[in-house]
Amino acid sequence: MVSKSKVQTDYLIIGQGIAGSLIALNLLQRGKSVTVVDDGHKHSASKVAAGLINPITGRRHVLTWRFQECWEFLLDAYPRWEAQMGETFFHKKPLLRFLKTDEEQRFFEQKLSAGDFAALDIDYPFDASEVDGLLARERCYRLHQTGFVNQNTLILSARRWFKQQGCLIEDQWSHSEFSRDSDKVCWKGHEAKNVIFTQGFQNDTNPFFRDLPFRHAKGELLELRGPELETPPVLNRGKWLLPLSLGRYRAGATYDLKQIDLSVSDEGQEEILEALKELVDWDFEITKHQSGVRPALHDFKPVLGRHPWFPELIIFNGLGSKGSLQAPLLAKELTDHLEDDVPLHQECDVDRFRKYL
């Protein structure tokens, strides 16, 4: 039985990954009362995400959805959050992408000549010979509108901030202790006008949104100790190698659509290491082997907005591997939608999946 409501708030936010953290920060900035419920990110993909920001992805070199808008927005947003929380988590860093096959090179050059990448600062072909220990010899291009967000640092910083504001509940969400009426929701003595679900792949346990056409993908990655090189770029040749700080690296990632859990495997580790052996001749020591599940929809667009039948229920999910890039702008747009009734971008509005709900 749900206990008698005692605490009233504007928004109850379920989950404190990058989506939950940024929507909470935006709403607090607007003067709204917020209660964030999180169990310590036990199932969060954000805490192990590489946080890479890359405008061109996949073997067909596809320009990321709304890249330029998201990039320009985050250049202002992340420094503001860093200043507020006293931490640095956003790092600009160039990326070298190697064209492994003739087919890849053809796809890229066709799109480049067609003007698909006109808004990007891109060098092609790029001479990568100055990268110490580089083994890859294919043609490559260099991107400048790239970098990474240390999502773990962002989330822990936001968590401390929420604690200071008295708006964090460290507990596990359970639907059995949740109830809703036409104008409010209740959970464990907390009454709210709205609830925002930012549960990542745990959305599958949410009876209101679990029938959305998610296409989760598990990814394993490695944290490594390696050579202490000054300002090396991100390297991408199917698998990527991300320099975090002097002598510290992250490498990945595998892509598994079948085994959707948080286990790691010897096969996943070997797949990443074999790719690194073809990329650089550096010696690495594995310091950590992790996995996460990327929550993504079948159309590879995020999903946000109010439930079409129960408007007090809201979702912000489906960022996949693009959370570092897309979450800042989408959190702002969702806040404007909830508070000012500004329409959402139709390609990420949950209403496009009305038939599933």
Give the CATH number, domain containing residue 264.
Answer: 3.30.9.10
Give the CA dihedral 292, 293, 296, 297, nearest 10 degrees: 180
Backbone region of residue 67 per phi and psi (left: phi > 0; alpha: psi in -120 to 50; beta: other values):
alpha
pLDDT at res. 216: 93
Given 294, 315, 340, the domain boundary residue is 294
- Structural domains in the chain (count): 2
pLDDT at res. 44: 54
Is residue 73 a part of any domain in this protein? no
Do residues 165 and 115 share a domain? no
Is residue 2 a part of any domain in this protein? no
Do residues 167 and 201 share a domain? yes
Do residues 230 and 314 share a domain? no
Is residue 252 a part of any domain in this protein? yes
Is residue 35 a part of any domain in this protein? yes
Is residue 78 a part of any domain in this protein? no
pLDDT at res. 91: 97
Strand partners, 195: 12, 313
Do residues 237 and 177 share a domain? no
SS3 of 33, please?
Answer: coil
Do residues 274 and 326 share a domain? no
Is residue 187 a part of any domain in this protein? yes
Do residues 203 and 109 share a domain? no
Given 294, 321, 347, the domain boundary residue is 294
Do residues 178 and 111 share a domain? no
Alpha carbon separation from 42 to 47, 163, 262 (Å, rounded):
9, 18, 10
Query: Whole-prediction pTM value?
Result: 0.95
Beta carbons of 15 and 24 less than 8 angstroms apart? no
SS3 of 2, please?
Answer: coil
Q: What is the DSSP letter of 353?
A: G
Do residues 222 and 290 share a domain? yes
Do residues 245 and 347 share a domain? no
Give the CATH number, domain containing residue 328.
Answer: 3.50.50.60
Is residue 86 a part of any domain in this protein? no
Do residues 207 and 227 share a domain? no
Is residue 82 a part of any domain in this protein? no
* Boundaries of domain holding 108: 94-145+217-294
**What would the DSSP string read from start to end of 118-183?**
TTS-EESS---TTSTTB---S-EEEESS-EEE-HHHHHHHHHHHHHHHT-EEES---GGGEEE-SS
CB atoms within 10 A of CB 92: 12
| pLDDT per 10-residue tile (average), the chain, 357 residues | 65 97 98 95 62 93 96 98 97 97 96 96 96 96 97 95 96 91 88 96 94 95 96 96 97 93 95 98 97 94 97 97 97 98 98 96
Do residues 137 and 123 share a domain? yes
CA atoms within 13 A on the CB side of 196: 31
Contacts of 25 (CB under 8 A, 6+ apart): 81, 84, 158, 161, 331
Contacts of 66 (CB under 8 A, 6+ apart): 326, 329, 345
Given 274, 294, 314, the domain boundary residue is 294
The two beta strands, 313-317 and 303-306, are antiparallel
Do residues 131 and 224 share a domain? yes
